Amino acid sequence: MPSVYDLAPEAPVVPVVVIEDAADAVPLARALVAGGLPAIEVTLRTPAALDAVRAIAAEVPDAVVGAGTVISAAGVADAVAAGARFLVSPGWTDGLLDAMRASGVPFLPGVSTTSEVVALLERGVRDMKFFPAEPAGGVPYLRSLAGPLPQARFCPTGGISLASAPSYLALPNVGCVGGTWMLPGDALAARDWARVESLAREAAALSRGPQGAPA
């Protein structure tokens, strides 16, 4: 199975999207893709989420749409049926991990402690989401994990900004970061897709450190 990082290898940032109105999904996705961020995580936090995934998968062929906030086997099945090409969870259990592994698409189970990282490595999982990144220790915490657990690779999400993203991307154990800063609430409310595209382009211009690039 390919890694999540293989799906959009040139994109250092994954936008984390909460969609309230499925009608916004396609123009929003097109703006992000035009700005250079094709990997889009649509969180399963709203009634419109699965319809949004379905619409992006059908109408924005250059997007790599995934589902986030996946917390159950049913959520895994629904997301994949809607067209999600990757899955992201805020945490994990054995049952959820089994469902994500059986789905056939790449996935990032969420961790916030060293024990969770070791448990996933024990199960053969190397690619993980670090969440919530800033409250859980941020750059210093991930840097400290790189020594004893170099085989683990992370997509930190939670509280990351344009200003802090470069520090994460410079770490040897970070493959990408997730964020919402290119999706400000006022721009979404105004359906200002040109502004979203501009902010996405700014985020896409960030670069990974040489060791943090996908293997």
Phi-psi region of 11 (alpha: psi -120 to 50; beta: other; left: phi over 0): beta
Separation of alpha carbons 197 and 200, rounded Å: 5
**Which pairs with CB-CB distance under 8 Å and at least 24 residues apart come from 114-120?**
114/145, 114/149, 116/91, 116/92, 117/145, 117/149, 117/152, 118/149, 120/92, 120/152
29 in helix, strand or coil?
helix
Give the Cβ contact number of residue 21 at 10 Å: 13
Alpha-helical runs (H) found in 25-182: 25-34, 49-59, 73-82, 94-102, 114-122, 138-146, 165-169
* Catalytic positions, written as ranges: 41, 129
Q: What 3 state SS string does 132-148 have?
A: CCCCCCHHHHHHHHHCC
